[in-house]
Amino acid sequence: ALRQYHTAKSTSTTVAMAKSKNSSQHNQSKKNHRNGIKKPKTHRYPSLKGTDPKFRRNHRHALHGTMRALKEVKEGKRESA
């Protein structure tokens, strides 16, 4: 609503701007639950970005050794992985 304010210093009338609504959370929870709140999809191989560089180096060598052992088992050079 528009209101008029009179100040003691001047005799001029100033008109205040109408106030605007800030926010309303009414009905938002119901809307969110209509299709269900889903968990984020997980990937089989999460990114190693941001992990400890020392761990990443060791991980690379460990993977190489594992692949080599599996290859040897497949060829019959080794009894178990």
Phi, psi of 14 (to 5 degrees): -110, 145
The 10s digit of each residue's pLDDT in 49-73 is 999 999 999 999 999 999 999 999 9
Task: Tell me which residue of 5, 11, 67 sits closest to 75, measured CA to CA.
Answer: 67
Which of residues 61 and 81 earns the better pLDDT score?
61
pLDDT(5) > 70: no
